[in-house]
Amino acid sequence: MESLVMKRFTSLLPTFDSMLIPTIQALQILGGSGTTEEIYDQVAQILNLPDKVLEIPHGNSSQSEVEYRLAWSRTYLKKYGILENSARGVWSLGSTAINHDELDPKEIVKTVREAGKSKVILPVPMTKASESLETLNELAWHQQLHEILLEMEPSAFERLVQRLLRESGFIQVQVSGKSGDGGIDGVGIARINGFLSFHILFQCKRYQGSVTSGQIRDFRGAMQGHTDKGLFITTGTFTRDAIKEALRDGAPPIDLIDGEQLVQRIKELGLGVKITIFESVEVDTDWFERI
């Protein structure tokens, strides 16, 4: 009887190609990017998969059969050019404007299989550029990126912050996407070394000026009753009083990320930023003369 029940649930397992479109839908729901765990949860909800189906293991491994097949779905979508993934396990849509109704799973599978093996791109060895050129490049990209951030739509900027937090190790990151929420733009869970975790509320503002202590107090007021930790991200700066208020004794702490720290973090994570290394080669004529 037990084997018959298992056989019935096994018949309900979705194939990897039937999860191609749900994977895209899941990432759209998640704001354009998500971890493998977040994608898995969303796809399971979209397909309304019973727990018994989700519990079916893949062979003798600790991975479930759905997880295994969903990994193939992501791989095919990546080779097709729809998905991208980072070394930190975050997957993202190449474009948030993708219309999944216009996509044919059979065509995706056929195209990828006909393309054969994907190309392997070897990393370029790191070499040091000249200090003067590096300084000029630093000023140029920093200013350009800062201007781009200031010109972004509020919803796009919130999605960028959501992606940045995910790439930084946060999980279950959600943005509210609406006003009138008391200054709270989103929530997430920060993990420390994979063992400890705590909830945070964050606010992100595209400012050219400075965030004041009053705005920090308003944000802290919105945090009360929800969490004991906050994160305030801005493209501008913080006044001295704002910094003092964020660290005031006896009040829930609020971490601050200003425009300088923000663009540096975006660079470190490689989000929309490509780093080109210039190699300088000098011939030591004395070395050859000493042979």
Residues 94 and 165 in one domain: no
Residues 6+ positions from 268 with CB-CB distance below 8 Å: none
Q: Over 70: is that where the pLDDT of 286 sits?
A: yes
CATH number of the domain bearing residue 108: 1.10.10
Average pLDDT of the segment spanning 84-110: 84
**Whether the predicted pLDDT of 249 surpasses 60:** yes
Average pLDDT over residues 69-91: 87
Q: 259 and 143, same structural domain? A: yes
Q: Is residue 124 part of a domain?
A: no
Share of the chain above pLDDT 70, in %: 82
CA triple 259-230-208, angle to 5 deg: 25
Over residues 48-77, the pLDDT tens digits come to 998 888 888 877 655 788 988 998 999 999
Distance between CA 196 and CA 203 in Å, rounded?
Answer: 23
- For residue 135, what pLDDT band results from cuts at 50, 70 and 90? very low
Residues 159 and 65 both lie in one domain: no
Separation of alpha carbons 256 and 265, rounded Å: 13
Q: What is the pLDDT of residue 26?
A: 94
86 within a domain of the structure (yes/no): yes
Is a pLDDT exceeding 60 seen at residue 122? no
Q: Are residues 156 and 248 in the same domain?
A: yes
- On whether both 179 and 88 belong to a single domain, the answer is no
Chain centroid to Cα 123, Å, comes to 22
List alpha helices for 152-231, DSSP H. Answer: 154-167, 213-223
Instruction: Looking at the structure, tell me whether residues 155 and 224 fall in a common domain.
Output: yes
- Whether 135 and 257 map to the same domain: the answer is yes
- In three-state secondary structure terms, 21 is helix
Whether 19 and 40 have beta carbons less than 8 Å apart is answered as no
Task: Give the strand pairing for 83-85 and 90-93.
Answer: antiparallel
The mean-pLDDT minimum among 81-90, 111-120, 183-192, 230-239 falls in 111-120
26 falls within a domain:
yes
Mean pLDDT, rounded, of the chain: 81
Question: Residue 225's Cα: distance from chain center in Å?
Answer: 28
Task: Kindly state whether residues 197 and 257 are assigned to the same domain.
Answer: yes
Is 122 domain-assigned? no
Any domain includes 186: yes
Residue 75 Cα to chain centre, angstroms? 18
User: Does the CA dihedral 58-63-69-72 come out positive or negative?
Assistant: negative
Same domain flag for 10 and 111: yes
| Domain region containing 259 | 131-269
Number of independent structural domains in the chain: 2
In this structure, the answer to whether residues 93 and 143 fall within a common structural domain is no
CATH number at residue 219: 3.40.1350.10
- The DSSP letter of residue 169 is T
In a domain, 148, yes or no: yes
Task: Tell whether 252 and 141 lie within a shared domain.
Answer: yes
Residue 95 lies in a domain: yes
Tell me the whole-structure pTM to 2 decimals.
Answer: 0.65
140 shares its domain with 243: yes
Q: Confirm whether 126 is domain-assigned.
A: no
